[in-house]
Amino acid sequence: MKKLKFICFLFIIILFLCIQYDNQWHYSGNLRIPISLDLKREEAIDEASFAADLQDHLLESEERYRLLPDSLNGKIISTDLACHLYKPFAALSNAKDRLKYFFSTRIPASWFMNYVYYKKLVEIKDLKEQEGQEKMNVVFLAGGDGSGKTSAVRYLGLPIIENADVIRDATMSSSFEYHKKVIEKTLELGFEVTIIYVFRPIELALEANISRAEEEGRIRPIGEIVDAHYRAQQNVVKLIEFFGDKIEFLVIDNRRSFQDIHVVDNPVEFLTSTEVYYMSREIVMNRALLTYAKQNKEEISEPIIEVLEHKLNLSSTNIQANDLNQEGAHWFKHIRKLIDTLAMKFKAKGHA
């Protein structure tokens, strides 16, 4: 009996410690926004402030998001848009000045959008049932940063976009299991699901990212841009295989001029073709870094370069620890040397 009591007591202690440990890495509140552990002091303060504001004023934050013009009355679920809810970010008129809030706003904005997404689905479901309507649609926009998702679907004027109840605008580059779970929950609530994946080569996408950063004040580090393009493509192929005809898939080819944008006839054949399919993350990184080496750095503002090159070195846990084995580390040294050589050649020719 004493042994059983001791085991129960020990179990309670372990459970308490696990709960305390779990809570240690999240801000307080129902949103359970994770605490970023690698931010600078000023960034950490901004993140904590933004997380607290969202958590303490949920209804007000939802309404403010709905009133953002680009959210289309809350129809579009976008982390990039939600960053505008942080008042110091929104108060800046110069887009490039907003880059200093890049690392501190994206996690709170992302988790807030997850909350808004599921709440919105339930509200739409209840409303449709009251009105006697059965058809409900959710569209997931997928593709790496700079792939041209928004401009492509606008140019094509796809009816599915116009008729959608909710549009989740993201890269779809988190884990496959995460996206599978989100789609399964969406289907369980009675929604029809369409995934629209926009493919644009990493070279063109990176250039688009840099140009957009100057105008809109948003960009991600090269390592994250590469991850987004590689993982988004991998996930879409896996989702097609897993869900089959349970959901609809549209793949848009955005490899050439704007006038050539089109929906491909056979998504699987297109995505697995040698011209399109990314064989490995290293290959995508190689192509991205070579493209970056050709850029005229004098035309890129310092804050943008700082974000682009964030953790872009061998001491980086973002690249070395998570993504590269010993062979990859050797490759990375080689490619960095190659980039420096190329950059010098372009500078000598008057391109930089």
pLDDT in tens, 255-282: 998 889 999 999 999 999 999 999 999 9
pLDDT at site 335: 44
Ramachandran bin of 311, using left for φ above 0, alpha for ψ from -120 to 50, beta for the remaining angles: left
Confidence of residue 325 (pLDDT cuts 50, 70, 90): very low
- Does residue 143 carry a pLDDT above 50? yes
Average pLDDT over residues 11-40: 72
- How sure is the predictor about 312, in pLDDT bands with cuts at 50, 70 and 90? confident
Contacting residues for 112 by C-beta, under 8 A, at least 6 apart: 31, 33, 54, 61, 82, 85
Looking at residue 317, its pLDDT comes to: 34
- Average pLDDT of 18-37? 76
Enumerate the domain spans of the chain: 18-117
pLDDT of the residue at 8 = 54
pLDDT for 26 equals: 87
What pTM did the predictor assign?
0.81
pLDDT bucket at 175, cuts 50 / 70 / 90: very high
What does pLDDT average to over the chain? 85
> Of 51-65, 73-87, 214-228, 309-323, which range is least confident?
309-323
